[in-house]
Structure 1
């Protein structure tokens, strides 16, 4: 797989996040605390010192970039890795975009930006829709895709599982978009987030087992 361009893109993104963090830290008064965690209702429920909050997305982005750069080299099923190239690359790029969004959200107070706290739901919703769109374009592997034990053992099971997973993931992503855009109460928002995540993940796993059960009679 040719991931050189993605590696360059990743380190450019890391440098961009580091620049935002450095400028924001210089603008904030000493002792400022910024949000570092949001609950399922989209409310900031944990804060930390400005330096830690601003440079955590930088470190996370660097770590994710390193992980994605290493995965193709440690995949045991090297002959099938190219079959999942589209999913691998799109997921990498989408996660970089999410990290930029997180950094902007954390740094917003330093620049006087009024960014809605529900923006992460919109970002994750778009992430799921994008990944769901390319999910069927993958083949069995240990690091990419819906890696149930039944799908890993059977290519037909893998393909069928990922076709269903594409629809459920896009449905969950669309639900998260609505969560981020509609004026909901915190309780309703939290319930819809849990529902969207369950819809995205549970049906493909159960379907993969069901296909194996029907085929083997076990």
Structure 2
């Protein structure tokens, strides 16, 4: 371990300085502070695992160096975006470009390095068939390098259609496919060798397999739930109404606080709208947003409906709607009537 630290001393110092620079740049919020703590812990854990696993191996210096730099670069990019958002900059296009093109570039680099990765327990396609058969490891990583490069090209192409939900779906599918196809190739290579009569003693650790299976299933469930989870319900009282939101904080407005109210259609479709602090998925948008029309504003909306009730509440813009146009119209009329009664 000491020898590894000595050999990579320059890389460790420079990557640590990049993490520190990123933290200083993006020192803006409590959430950012905790995420930066997570980045530091992950970097320390990753370096420790890599050095410990490769202390007696002749792993490529370029591969280890590339792995050490992944988290510092992510830290710098994240904090740069956090600083721009805090300054009120219009960062939607920049953010999407960094997501699509940044991931594509990272996958392209990884794809080119995968064939050079030697068998180990830390870096690469680490499944039971590759870890216990060096020929399988080498074949899988040569094949996976091509798959990850192809995935990187798809990720970059998604950047050309950043506003499309289809682009986001393709982006997620391409990333998942790169991992799944790599594992599937390793298994098929193993089956092919068995088919030729070659005897391979593959030791399956049942406990580890069960844990991997559970983690994989929970991860898939979490991703699916996150993309569709949430609910918005509006409850009207005599003096105020409350937006009860599952996935974000509730919001209560007194009718006397409302300066103006209007019913709008297709208002947010072409207004360079992006989330600054809130929840956004395929079904709902809740929290603080910003666009070219209102600047900073608050919204609780269903993605399936393109009509909105727009209110000025104590000088702040609030945008809400129902699941469809008729529900939105009902919300508009109900609030308007309640406001009229308060003025009588």
- TM-score where L is the length of structure 2: 0.51
2:262 corresponds in structure 1 to: none
1:194 corresponds in structure 2 to: 172
Once residues 64 and 5 of structure 1 are traced to their aligned partners in structure 2, the CA distance between those partners, rounded to angstroms, is: 19
Counterpart selection for 2:78 from 75, 90, 102: 102
Once residues 139 and 202 of structure 1 are traced to their aligned partners in structure 2, the CA distance between those partners, rounded to angstroms, is: 20
Once residues 170 and 126 of structure 2 are traced to their aligned partners in structure 1, the CA distance between those partners, rounded to angstroms, is: 25
Q: CA deviation at 1:69?
A: 2.2
1:120 corresponds in structure 2 to: 99
Report the RMSD for the aligned CA atoms in angstroms. 2.1
1:21 corresponds in structure 2 to: 26
Q: CA deviation at 1:199?
A: 2.7
Q: CA deviation at 1:55?
A: 1.8
Q: CA deviation at 1:123?
A: 1.4
Structure number with higher helix proportion? 1
1:83 corresponds in structure 2 to: 59
Q: CA deviation at 1:197?
A: 1.1
Gaps of 5+ in 2: 200-344
1:138 corresponds in structure 2 to: 117
Q: CA deviation at 1:149?
A: 0.8
Q: CA deviation at 1:86?
A: 2.4
Counterpart selection for 1:55 from 33, 36, 41: 33
Moved more, 147-156 or 195-204: 195-204
Once residues 198 and 183 of structure 1 are traced to their aligned partners in structure 2, the CA distance between those partners, rounded to angstroms, is: 19
Residues 60 and 123 of structure 1: CA distance in aligned 2, closer, same or farther (over 3 Å): farther
Structure number with higher strand proportion? 2
Q: How many residues align?
A: 188
Q: CA deviation at 1:180?
A: 2.5
1:173 corresponds in structure 2 to: 152
Gaps of 5+ in 1: 26-50
What whole-Å deviation, never above 9, does each CA across 1:108-159 have from its counterpart, x for those lacking one? 1223433323122221221111111111111111111111111111111111
What whole-Å deviation, never above 9, does each CA across 1:70-116 have from its counterpart, x for those lacking one? 123431x6433x32432222132233222211111222122343332
Runs ≥4 in structure 1, deviation > 3 angstroms?
Answer: none
